[in-house]
Structure 1
Amino acid sequence: MNFRDFTRRDFVRGLGFGAVGWALGGAWQRLTQAEGATRETRRFAAKGREQPNFLFLFTDDQTFSTIGALNNQEVRTPNMDRLVRRGTTFTHCFHQGAWHGAVCVASRAMLNTGRYIWTCGGDNCGDWPLWGQTLGLAGYDTFMTGKWHNQDPALKRSFKTIGPTGGGMYHSKDPNAEANAAKGIVNDPYDRPRPGNSWSPYDKTLEGHWRQVDGETVHSSKLWADTAIEYLNGRAGRRDNAFFMYVAFHAPHDPRQAPKEFVDMYPPEKITIPPNYLPQHPFDQGDYKLRDELLAPFPRTKEAVQVHLSEYYAIITHADHHIGRILDALEASGEADNTIIIFSADHGLAVGQHGLMGKQNQYEHSVRMPLVLCGPGIEAGRKNDAMVYLPSLFATTCEMAGIDTPETVQFPSLVPLLTGQKTRLHDSIYCAYRHFQRMVRTERYKLIRYPQVGEVQLFDLHNDPWEMNDLAEAPQHAQTVKTLDAELHRWMKITGDELDFASL
């Protein structure tokens, strides 16, 4: 593998000044003092070790309800299942939305800065202190491979060792499209299934996740797993510094490709149609026909949804297989007993629910993702239903490592929930998508506003977890709508959301 290594001098030189000036001078000494770890934070390291390692396993477009042992026995995820059994699962993990259609960009910018959607610095993460950068300054060996999807300067600031990386998504295209067209053959990943379209998720000639590496065609999930395993193997016997590994899969983002044996696990006709399936969304929620939504024909048929769910489950199971390889390599390295493993995704996905295919909406299937933490000091087999945000991982790992969280970080640490010091961090959750959608959610109710088209939805999540019954116009819920509107505007002020409802 072609790793890019940076010396500490190179690393600090690349930081520049501005908002990252906190890292220089006294702050450097403060962050690198191992004695800064308290008795409480040392619970997250193995006996005799000052600080834990962190292995962050990150998927793309994986909704919360796709883990066999947790909430969907139709999906085979034996390695995600073993993480669930070994650790604590946060069942209600959210992100805060996006300022354009590539929701993953915003989610990753928030994750790596620990800052709110409108203050995280956009696609380049501003010049805020970054997650990997902060751990690196504290003496961690930091490594990244896979999908970054923010700008390259932020990547270089974040990690001392950078393996192969990839762009936001891998487009599937037929290299023989012209010749095949003459034969009446079409291989198009969009607007399918449809007659005459022969696109196959296991056809390795159609590129996408099928990458060329040293003359061999390999899936992106295998490539990122191979790189992570090579990094672990290269550290065999070393215990000088703890490590932070950021392994970001492109799976299960479309084009949802996997080897045939994985696709064959999920015959489309046997896939369960979700209860909230609709042929089309009741109204244009904004960006109704952007790229994600064009993957399946309009209106959505049940057969089309089954095909897409089949391929979605197959690529998740394939990614799970390679996650298992990484976990096995960690065990073989001798570092498993001192490693906090974090598994999550950047956001969820509709795949036929509510008549939608993408993640540019405020329904549970799109704003929630899985989050599992396991390792020393973390209770095994536990489910925590508190509402949390994905970008809280920045502050969480800092607290676990016994180092100062930068003052610029806005999302709170999850450690108080893991230790039982608190039962909740947030009374409500806020999310936004461009100027089209605003959402606020409590433990029971969710309010979604669509200011461009004047629509509003209210769901009772206790009695209607699939969000099928809109209560916004029910007279008995008028006060609930008013209360949630006030909470929404409170969050808008906190996060710097400048959308003016009154002007629309």
Structure 2
Amino acid sequence: MSENDQPNVLLIVADDQRFDTIGALGNDHIETPNLDALVREGCSFTHHFNMGADQGAVCVPARSMIMSGHSLFNIEGPGGMTEEHPTLPEAFGNAGYRTFGTGKWHNGHEAFNRCFDEGKDIFFGGMGNHWNVPVTDRYPLGKYPQPKPYRGFSGNGSIWPRHKQYDKYASGTHSSELFANAMVNFLENHDESADERPFFAYMATMAPHDPRTCPGKYLAMYDQDNIQIPGNFQPEHPFDIGWCGRDEHLEDYPRDPEKLRRHIADYYAMITHLDAQIGRVLNRLETIGERENTIIAFTADHGLAVGQHGLMGKQNLYEHSVHIPLLLVGPDIAVDERRNHLTSHYDIYPTLCDLAGLDTPSAIEGETLVPTFDNPDAEIRDHLLLAYEDVMRAVRGERYKLIEYYTEDGYTQLFDLDADQSETDDLSNDDSYSAEYEQLQAQLRQLQETADDPLIEE
């Protein structure tokens, strides 16, 4: 157990888990007792967003933004890790922290070795078989093993041979359990060692990303016949959004409501199983006496449509794909409270530094959220820029949201999120909303210029 007064940090990032999949945040159809406990013990940011992506693998830039503190158009360098200042874990390591990482890392070997001094059961990839995860431990010199055959999944669920740089397989252990095991072992080691440094520990899960498989006990908890089809379900999207890759081929067109019930049931089961593994980690933190002195942060890289708006994936700018949870628990954090400030992934870096008493690099683009704990009216920002590749841009305010599609036909949508959280009533052609429309278009251009959006001509 550390005798250092500085708080530890435990950062957990799920894969594909959207905001409305935590029971305590309003979903009565899912069981997440451990995440519910974090909601009660800390502060939930109810309007947290992934800014978007410049590629189909949305998780890559999302995780880069978390680790770099930069927005989408300013992440650079190997793995999207900034070269002008330390990464988030690196900043803690430079301040004397023991740094450890486990789980999914889609940003390359070099970036992982730069971020963490220790690592176990690391999955260098985007997706795979949850029951046969090819993993490796951190290699200090960065010289990872030679490639070995690996069977991955294609978009339609079939299997194709690939090669990845891994040195072992965790056959028969589900990915969520595998990564929780690694984190529990790290915590036990930390408790038993003579190392008095505080720790920065990172666990990134593969769940609930497809293929959505988990122990039958959890699958049996959700009867697809009792699953509600979302109100914004559509057999297919009404117009071309400019992208139709792997995720959109996970189910046939037109979307079948009965098949979607199964997708949603499996999605919920994966999240409940993941929640149980998070509970194991939190229990171990309690057992070693570090729970009260640890800042716990939980978020996800991005959300997922699973049938909403006729879409299956996250390569879009609707709320279901960009709106994600952010839970903060620990010393000096508001208890059992919620904040509705507009926040994004690049705010996590300065917030964790601020909570731990570390200096935040001046080049960081994010805003610390610490002032909101004492002052719910503290200003963070009034609008967020959202983007996907070169085909979509959006501006999200506290009430209204404007999405522009740069496709051959072009399209613009305007939503009043106070009255229409499901984004089904497009107001862009309603003259009574012309002032909001024009204001948001101007705000979008301003945000694009500030963010160095490559779509804005110099």
Distance 1:260 1:414 in 2: 40
CA 1:262–1:66: 2 relative to 1, 3 Å: same
Partner secondary structure for residue 122 of structure 2: strand
Q: 1:64 aligns with which of 19, 23, 30?
A: 19
Kept in 2, the 8 Å contact 1:387–1:424? The answer is no
Q: Which amino acid aligns with 1:465?
A: Q
Give the aligned residue type for 2:257.
Answer: K
TM-score (ref. length: structure 2): 0.89
1:425 matched to 2:393? no
Counterpart position of 1:485: 441
**Structure 1 residue 169 and structure 2 residue 129: aligned?**
no
Tell me how far apart the structure 2 counterparts of residues 216 and 255 of structure 1 sit (CA, whole Å).
16
- Name the aligned partner's letter for residue 486 of structure 1: A
Q: How does 1:353-392 map to 2 (within 5 A)?
A: 353-392=308-347
Q: Deviations over 1:277-327 (max 9, x none)?
A: 111111110112x00111111111111110110110011111111000000
In structure 2, which of residues 390, 414, 417 is the aligned counterpart of residue 461 of structure 1? 417
Distance of 1:374 and 1:173 partners within structure 2? 29
Q: Is the 8 A contact 1:432 1:439 kept in 2?
A: yes
Tell me, yes or no, if the aligned pair for 1:109 and 1:124 is still in contact at 8 Å.
yes
* Deviations, residues 449-491 of structure 1 (Å, cap 9, x unaligned): 0022310000000011111100001111122111101110111
Provide the C-alpha distance between the structure 2 equivalents of 1:173 and 1:293, rounded to a whole number of angstroms.
Answer: 21
The 5-angstrom pairing of residues 381-460 of structure 1 reads 381-420=336-375, 422-452=377-407, 453-460=409-416
User: For 1:421 and 1:323, how far apart are their aligned partners in 2?
Assistant: 28
Matched letter for residue 331 of structure 1: E
Alpha-carbon separation, structure 1, partners of 2:176 and 2:130:
19
Question: Could you tell me which residue of structure 1 aligns to residue 176 of structure 2?
Answer: 221
Change (3 A) 1:363 1:76: same
Residues 130 and 175, structure 2, Cα contact 8 Å, conserved in 1: no
Q: Which amino acid aligns with 2:58?
A: V
Give, as a single letter, the amino acid of the residue that structure 2 aligns with 1:477: Y
Which protein shows a greater Rg? 1
**Superposed displacement of residue 64, structure 1:** 0.2
Q: Match of 1:118, SS?
A: helix
Partners of 2:457 and 2:337 lie apart in 1 by 41
Determine the C-alpha separation between the residues in 2 that align with 1:456 and 1:159: 43
- Using the TM superposition, give the Cα deviation of residue 78 of structure 1 relative to its aligned residue in structure 2, in angstroms: 0.8
Q: Aligned letter for 1:268?
A: Q
Q: Specify the code of the residue in structure 2 equivalent to 1:481.
A: Y
Q: Which letter does structure 2 place at the counterpart of 1:50?
A: D
Match of 2:116, as an amino acid?
Answer: F
Letter matched to residue 88 of structure 2: W
Identity %: 41
AA partner of residue 119 (structure 2): I
The match for 2:55 is 100
2:18–2:324 CA contact under 8 A, matched in 1? yes
Whichever residue aligns with residue 168 of structure 1, its letter is: G
Instruction: Determine the structure 2 residue equivalent to 1:15.
Output: none
CA distance in 1, matches of 2:283, 2:446: 46
User: Does the C-alpha gap of structure 1 residues 376 and 358 become closer, same or farther in structure 2, counting only changes over 3 Å?
Assistant: same
Q: d(CA) in 1 for partners of 2:378 and 2:130?
A: 49
Distance 1:407 1:53 in 2: 23
Q: Residue 441 of structure 1: SS of its match in structure 2?
A: strand
SS at match of 2:91: helix
Q: CA deviation at 1:51?
A: 1.4
Q: How does 1:26-425 map to 2 (within 5 A)?
A: 50-121=5-76, 123-128=79-84, 129-172=86-129, 216-236=171-191, 240-288=196-244, 290-420=245-375, 422-425=377-380
Distance in 2 of aligned mates of 1:189 and 1:96? 26
Measured after TM superposition, the shift of residue 434 of structure 1 is 0.4
1:473 aligned to 2:437? no
Instruction: State whether residues 190 and 296 of structure 1, in contact with CA within 8 Å, keep that contact through their aligned partners in structure 2.
Output: no
SS at match of 1:431: strand
Give the distance between the partners of 1:174 and 1:418, measured in 2 at CA: 40
Q: Aligned partners of 1:492 and 1:189: how far apart in 2?
A: 35
Give the 3-state SS of the residue equivalent to 2:24 in structure 1: coil
Does structure 1 retain, via aligned residues, the 8 Å contact 2:7–2:356? yes
**Preserved CA contact (<8 Å) 2:131 2:172:** no
Task: Decide which moves more: 233-242 or 465-474.
Answer: 233-242
Secondary structure of 1:69's aligned partner:
helix
Q: Does the aligned pair in 1 maintain the 2:41–2:336 contact within 8 Å?
A: yes
Aligned residue-pair number = 430
CA distance in 2, matches of 1:189, 1:489: 38
| Secondary structure, counterpart of 1:386 in structure 2 | coil
The AA in structure 2 aligned to 1:438 is R
- Cα distance, 1:173 vs. partner? 11
Shift of 1:171: 3.3
Q: CA 1:79–1:343 in structure 2 vs 1: closer, same or farther (change >3 Å)?
A: same
Residue 501 (structure 1) shift: 8.2
Residue 208 of structure 2 aligns with an amino acid whose one-letter code is P
Q: Check whether the contact 1:169–1:253 (CA below 8 A) recurs between aligned residues.
A: no
- In structure 2, the CA distance between the partners of 1:68 and 1:212, relative to structure 1 (3 Å rule), is farther
Residue 57 of structure 1: SS of its match in structure 2? strand
Q: Deviations over 1:329-384 (max 9, x none)?
A: 00011111100111110111101101001001111111111111111222221111
Alpha-carbon distance between aligned partners in 2 of 1:167 and 1:273, rounded to the nearest angstrom: 34
Q: Using the alignment, how far apart are the partners of 2:451 and 2:439 within structure 1?
A: 19
CA apart distance, 1:126: 4.2
Change (3 A) 1:174 1:450: same
RMSD: 2.6
Equivalent pair of 2:208/2:267 in contact (CA under 8 Å): yes
Runs of 5+ consecutive residues of structure 1 not aligned to the other structure: 1-45, 176-187, 200-205
Taking the aligned partners of 2:385 and 2:209, their CA distance within structure 1 comes to: 24
**In 2, are the aligned partners of 1:124 and 1:151 still within 8 Å (CA)?**
no
Q: Are the structure 2 counterparts of residues 360 and 216 from structure 1 closer, same or farther at C-alpha, using a change threshold of 3 Å? A: closer
TM-score (norm 1): 0.81
The offset of 1:500, in angstroms, is 4.3
Q: Deviations over 1:95-136 (max 9, x none)?
A: 111111011001011111000101111643242420000110
Q: Give the match for residue 150 of structure 2.
A: none
State the distance in 1 between where 2:377 and 2:131 align.
53
Do the aligned partners of residues 229 and 215 (structure 1) sit closer, same or farther apart at CA in structure 2, a change above 3 Å counting?
closer
CA distance in 2, matches of 1:65, 1:89: 12
C-alpha contact (below 8 Å) 2:131/2:170 kept by paired residues: no
